[in-house]
A and B are shown apart, each in its own frame.
Chain A
Amino acid sequence: MIIRKKYLFYLLAITSSVIAAAVTGIDSFVGSLPVFKTDPWAFAFSLFFVGVIITLLITLILSIKIKGESLGAKILDPSFKQIRIVQKNEMKYHLIAGLVNAINTVGYCAIISTVQDPSVILSFSQIVILYLLLMESITEKDVPTLVEVQSSVIVTFGAILASISLTGEFQLFPIIIVFLVVNPTWAIFSIYQRKLKIMKIHNRPNDSINIRFWNVFFSCLFTALLLLIYDIFTSGNHLITGFVTSLDPYYFLLLVLTMGTTFFSYVLYIRSLGLGKASVNNAIRASTIIFAIPFSILLIQLGVITEFSTDPVMLIIKVIGLVLIVMGIISFALTVVKSYIFITVKPGTPIKETMLKLWDIRGVSHVSVTSGKYDFIVKVSTRTLLKGYERIIRKIEEIETIKKYHWESVLKDWEKI
């Protein structure tokens, strides 16, 4: 099936958000259990330990071939063939993503154990967009535009407002953990997961299912290592507690439920990371806060969290926050201009050199060397046509080997799922 790329991107990111909201609800319940409430370190290890087992099992099931195509390719990611060993060129990215995910999860478990309402926890995390914008301007080939900064600020303030109202409380400890641990590590994690997703493995796009499996595997290793060091220095037994608790059938099934659901949320998130920038993805993921409300209500009914305030002022603040989040996401969606540039070069000029010069231009997303009427077809993405002219056309005109070019703006596009 072929659908519009923009819709695919938003469909993946929003579906991932809905599942993430459900996961946070389940995590809140599991985190409120006495053994984990007092020991977030053990909780983090248990999540990854059981996570490796369930993720491996799901990945093996998704590797089953049906009519020559794997089940995973049919239902989750067309790039997926089967479970495979990590390649040498992706190892570095997996190690970094695994390490930061381990640290992030320990921080997340510490918050979950303190604040049980998922809509509050999720709202704090949305500030990660600002970290991502800063990091992308350093690491990616694109700098944030005014629209991106404005939209991110709108989403962030929306998220902060949405986070205050449900319980009427504002706790300092979780915010410190979010700012110093959860958000920086999540920003690095998103960037490295995106790097992995846009890599080519055996001349095929890297698949999100293997990326997720290996991420859980390395995260588990790093969490175990961190806990071991922590236990040695503090004479604690968090690692053993986490391991023993994971083997208890009741806890094991709860952890299978949370990590099994997380698998699908992450696979869709990684896929959407391959289609758009990490900051834009996280802006869309801010909608998780909206989806978390039904889960918060469910948790109130189950008696896991206390009832939230129905003070009209608080409710108005909450609604304003949600409206800001939606506005921010829409403004992201409506401000991308994509174009093709068809280029002919002067005879006898080195193709590779010109290719690299084109690739170095900011905003260029594809450079294809082609045989036929044109020597290069370049695909670009900019926020405005003015920026396209100033940043791209001027740079192309500076390349001496280019004989002729013409720019054709994309009005609408579709991509195969």
Chain B
Amino acid sequence: MISAYILITMLPGKTDKAIKEMRQLDNVAKISIIAGEYDIVIRAQVKNLEELLNVTDQIQMIEGVTKTTTQIIEKEISLQ
């Protein structure tokens, strides 16, 4: 299983509608709206890189998404 963070920059005023569409996507484990350089952080969980490509493709097709930055997780320590 591959996990990745997808950092998304949005056009102003499009976030709510985009979030609704993102919640329908497969392989999306978490979605956070954040304040700062990025507008949304998505945590994707996929079986292979091909699936990751599909997820990022689907995100980029959503209206209002202007840029995505994908960070693949190589190692992780977490409480949950």
In chain B, positions 1-39 with a C-beta closer than 8 Å to chain A are 1, 3-5, 7, 19, 23, 28-38
**Partner among B19, B29, B32, B69 whose Cβ is within 8 Å of the Cβ of A416:** B29
Contacts of B35 in A (CB 8 A): 408-409, 411
**Partner among A5, A359, A377 whose Cβ is within 8 Å of the Cβ of B30:** A5
Q: Let me know if A393 is at the binding interface, CB within 8 A.
A: no
Among A30-38, A260-268, A366-374, the stretch that binds chain B is: A366-374
Are the CB atoms of A412 and B70 closer together than 8 Å?
A: no
In chain B, positions 29-80 with a C-beta closer than 8 Å to chain A are 29-38, 41, 69-80
Are the CB atoms of A365 and B34 closer together than 8 Å?
A: no
Are the CB atoms of A416 and B30 closer together than 8 Å?
A: yes
The complex places the Cα of A98 from the Cα of B43 at a distance, in Å, of: 35
Are the CB atoms of B80 and A275 closer together than 8 Å?
A: yes
Those 9 A-B pairs whose CB atoms lie nearest each other, nearest first: A408-B36, A370-B71, A413-B32, A372-B71, A366-B78, A369-B75, A408-B34, A2-B23, A368-B76
Are the CB atoms of B77 and A366 closer together than 8 Å?
A: yes
The complex places the Cα of A204 from the Cα of B45 at a distance, in Å, of: 12
Q: Chain B's nearest CB lies how many Å from the CB of A10?
A: 16
- For the complex with contacts A2-B28, A413-B33, A414-B19, 10 further pairs of A-B residues with Cβ separation under 8 Å are A204-B1, A367-B78, A369-B76, A370-B74, A373-B69, A408-B38, A410-B34, A414-B23, A414-B31, A416-B30
The complex places the Cα of A389 from the Cα of B29 at a distance, in Å, of: 28
Are the CB atoms of A359 and B70 closer together than 8 Å?
A: no
Contacts of A275 in B (CB 8 A): 80
Q: Which residue of B lies closest to A413 (CB)?
A: B32
Q: Chain A's nearest CB lies how many Å from the CB of B5?
A: 5
Q: Chain A's nearest CB lies how many Å from the CB of B60?
A: 16
Q: Can you list 29 A-B pairs, Cβ within 8 angstroms, ordered by A?
A: A141-B79, A274-B80, A339-B34, A340-B34, A355-B75, A355-B77, A365-B79, A365-B80, A366-B79, A367-B76, A368-B75, A369-B73, A369-B75, A369-B76, A370-B4, A371-B71, A371-B72, A372-B70, A372-B72, A377-B71, A406-B36, A408-B41, A410-B32, A411-B32, A413-B31, A413-B33, A414-B30, A415-B29, A416-B29
Are the CB atoms of A416 and B28 closer together than 8 Å?
A: yes
A412-B76 contact given A203-B1, A373-B71, A374-B71, CB 8 Å threshold: no
Contacts of A374 in B (CB 8 A): 71
Contacts of A274 in B (CB 8 A): 80
Are the CB atoms of A415 and B30 closer together than 8 Å?
A: yes
Q: Chain A's nearest CB lies how many Å from the CB of B48?
A: 15
Q: Which residue of A lies closest to B27 (CB)?
A: A416
**Partner among A365, A370, A406 whose Cβ is within 8 Å of the Cβ of B5:** A370
The complex places the Cα of A408 from the Cα of B23 at a distance, in Å, of: 21
Q: Which residue of B lies closest to A365 (CB)?
A: B79
Contacts of B41 in A (CB 8 A): 340, 408, 410
Are the CB atoms of B36 and A413 closer together than 8 Å?
A: no
Contacts of B37 in A (CB 8 A): 342, 406, 408
Q: Chain A's nearest CB lies how many Å from the CB of B28?
A: 7
Q: Chain B's nearest CB lies how many Å from the CB of A174?
A: 35
Contacts of A371 in B (CB 8 A): 71-72, 74
Contacts of B70 in A (CB 8 A): 372
The complex places the Cα of A293 from the Cα of B30 at a distance, in Å, of: 37
Contacts of B80 in A (CB 8 A): 198, 205, 274-275, 365-366
Contacts of A409 in B (CB 8 A): 34-36
Contacts of B1 in A (CB 8 A): 203-204
Q: Can you list, as one digit per residue, whether each of A357-397 has a CB less than 8 Å from chain B (1) or not (0)?
A: 00100000111111111100101000000000000000000
Q: Can you list, as one digit per residue, whether each of A273-298 has a CB less than 8 Å from chain B (1) or not (0)?
A: 01100000000000000000000000
Q: Which residue of B lies closest to A197 (CB)?
A: B80
Contacts of B32 in A (CB 8 A): 338, 340, 410-414
Contacts of B7 in A (CB 8 A): 342
Q: Chain B's nearest CB lies how many Å from the CB of A276?
A: 9
In chain A, positions 320-365 with a C-beta closer than 8 Å to chain B are 338-340, 342, 355, 359, 365
**Partner among A338, A367, A406, A414 whose Cβ is within 8 Å of the Cβ of B77:** A367
Contacts of A203 in B (CB 8 A): 1
Q: Which residue of A lies closest to B3 (CB)?
A: A368
Are the CB atoms of A372 and B34 closer together than 8 Å?
A: no
Q: Can you list, as one digit per residue, whether each of A130-143 has a CB less than 8 Å from chain B (1) or not (0)?
A: 00000000000100
The complex places the Cα of A366 from the Cα of B77 at a distance, in Å, of: 6
Are the CB atoms of A372 and B69 closer together than 8 Å?
A: yes
